[in-house]
Structure 1
C-alpha cells in the first residue's frame, strides 16, 4: 500500500498531537522547552572550554555516534519493520525515529550514569549538525519501499536549528557560570539535573494523560519501540569497548546512541503528512518510544548510581582503563587507545606505583587529569632525594 492511497482516506480522526490543545498543550510546550534549557545549563556548569577541546582533539567518540546513529540504527529500524511485518505507516515512523540524531535527554542521563559529559555534549551537538545532511539521505534510502514516488518527507531544518540552539546557548551560559561563579556551579548542576529528570517524567505523564489511545497498540509495536534504545546503546558500547575507551566513555556513547531526538521525529511527521488517520498512526511509534526510552535510560542510570554508591570508589578496571587512556593522550597516541610503547610506559608506571590510586566517586572531577598531573610532577622530581610524598585531596599516590 502506498502513501498516496493512504492519505486519501476520509476518516477525520484527529491525531494525538492535535488533541493536546489549549492549556494542556501550552503547559506541555513550555515544560519541554524549560526542561531542556535547565538541563543544558546544568550540564554546562560541569564543563570548561578545555574539557570540550579534549574531546574534539580526539573525536573518536563523535565518529562512533555518527556511524551508529546514521548507518547502523537506520538499518536496524528497517530490519525490525520488516521482521515484525509492521503496517506501512508504522514502518515509516520507525525509520524516521532511527534516522534522528541524539537528543538533549541523553545528556542528563549521561550525567546521572557518571558518564563523560564533555563527550555527551559534543556527540549531541555534532550529530544534530550532521543530521542536516544525513537525515534526508537515510530516510530516502530506507523508506522508499513504503512510500510512493510522488511522496516527499520534509526535513524540518528550523527544528534542527532550534535543537542546536537549545544545546549550545544554555551550555554556554552554564560554562560562564562555572567560570565566574565556580562555587555555585556544582550545587547548581545537581539542582538542574534533578529538575530535568522531574520535567522529563512529568512531560511523559502529561502526554499519556492527554492521549491514552496512543498506547493501545499491538504487541509488535511495543516490542519494536522497547528494543530500539537498548540496541543503540549496545552497538555504541561494543564499538567503544573495541577501541579501549574507558567505562565512563563507553556508557556515554551508549546512552547517546540509545536516546534519539523524538521531538524531531514528531516534527518531521507533522510537516510531511496531512492531518488524518495516516499521521495519527505514524505518531504512535515516537509516542511510545519516547517514554520507554526515558524509563530504560533512567533505570540504567539508577543502576549505575547504586553500583558506585555501594562500591564507594571507582572499580579497578575503570581506574586502569582511565589511566591507559591518559597515558595515550600524554604520550601522543590517537583516539585514547594504547600502542605497544604506551603499554610499556604503563608497566613502568605500575612498577613505580603511579597507577595505584583510589578515587572517591563523590568527586565529579575527571580523575585522569589528576593522574597525569601527578605523573608529570613526579617525573620532574625524579632526582629529588627528599622522599617527600605529594598528597592531593582527590588522589593519593603510593610510590
Structure 2
C-alpha cells in the first residue's frame, strides 16, 4: 500500500492537536493521585487494560469478523479512554478528577500495552508472519505522536496558566471537529468495506461499547467504590480514544491498513449516543447519591 501524503501529514497533526488539548487539562497532580488513592485508579486500569481486551476478543470471535476488522476491534479495545469521557462524566455527576487521572495514566501505559495487544491480535487473526516486531523506533513514534503533545500542553499549563486557559476551549472545539473529519476520512478511504461490513461491525462495536460501559460501572460498584467513581470509570473505559486507534491503523508509518480503522470509526459514532443514554440512566437520583462522592 503506498503512503498517502494526506494521511502521512494530516493524521499525526490532528492527533497531536487532540492530545495537546488533553495536555492543557492535565497537571502532575493528576498522575500523583494514583499513589494517594490507588484503589479506584487500579480498578479502572484493570478493567481497561485486562478485562476489556478479553471481552473484545470473545465478541470479535462471536461475530466472526474478517481478520483485519478483528485486529481493528482489538486495537480499539487497547486504546485508552478519550477526553470526551471527562465531559460525559461531568454531566452524569461522575468523579471527573478520577477520569482525568485515568486518562493521564492509561495514555502512558498504552504506549506499551497497545503494541502488545495488537501483535497478539495480528498473530491470532492474520497468522504468525503478520506480527510487527516491537522495534524501538515504532514504539518511539507512537510515544512522540501521543505523549509529546500531552507533555507540551502540560508544560504550557504549568508555565503559562493564562495561555492554557485561553487555549482550552478553542482546542476542544477544534479537536471535536478533527474527530469528525478523521472518522469521515476513515469511512471514505475504505468505503467499500464500510458498505459491506457496516451492519456486522456496527453490531460488534455496539456490543463492545455496551460491555465496556457495563464493566466500567458494575465492576467498581461490586468492589465497593462510590457511585460517582463508578460512573467515572464507566465513562472512561466506555468512551475509547477512537481517534488514536484510527490514526495508528491508517498511518503509513505504522499499521497502514484502512480496514483496521473501520471498527474505531463506527464505534466513534455509536459511543456518543450510548454514553449519553448511560449517563442519563446512572445519574438518576444523583442528589441522593451525592453523600457518597469521594475525592480522588
- TM-score (structure 2 length as normaliser): 0.76
- Report deviation, 1:235: 0.6
- Name the structure, 1 or 2, with higher relative contact order (CA <8 Å, separation 6+): 2
Q: Given the alignment, which residue of 199, 209, 220 partners 1:229?
A: 209
Give ranges in structure 1 of 5+ residues lacking alignment.
1-13, 327-335, 337-399
> 1:321: which partner in 2?
292
Q: 1:153 touches 1:268 (CA, 8 Å); kept in 2?
A: no
Q: How does 1:219-258 map to 2 (within 5 A)?
A: 219-258=199-238
Q: How does 1:1-399 map to 2 (within 5 A)?
A: 22=6, 30-41=13-24, 43-44=25-26, 53-154=32-133, 156-157=138-139, 158-174=141-157, 176=159, 178=161, 181=162, 185=165, 193-194=172-173, 196-201=175-180, 203-205=182-184, 208=187, 212-218=191-197, 219-266=199-246, 267-268=248-249, 270-271=252-253, 279-297=257-275, 299-300=276-277, 315-322=286-293, 325=294
Closer, same or farther: CA 225–315 of 1 in aligned 2, 3 Å:
closer
> For the residues of structure 2 that align with 1:159 and 1:136, how far apart are their CA atoms?
9
> 1:358: which partner in 2?
none
- Report deviation, 1:215: 3.0
* CA RMSD after TM alignment: 3.9
> How many residues end up aligned between the 2 structures?
289
The structure having more radius of gyration, on CA atoms, is 1
Structure 1 window deviating more from structure 2 (50-59 vs 115-124): it is: 50-59
SS in 2 for 1:171: helix
Which of the pair is proportionally richer in helix? 2
Closer, same or farther: CA 25–54 of 1 in aligned 2, 3 Å:
closer
Give ranges in structure 2 of 5+ residues lacking alignment.
none
Q: What does the per-residue CA deviation read over 1:41-72, in whole Å, with 9 as the maximum and x for residues that have no partner?
A: 2x34xxx6556544531122321232122211
Q: 1:96 touches 1:265 (CA, 8 Å); kept in 2?
A: yes
Closer, same or farther: CA 112–36 of 1 in aligned 2, 3 Å:
farther
Q: 1:101 touches 1:128 (CA, 8 Å); kept in 2?
A: yes
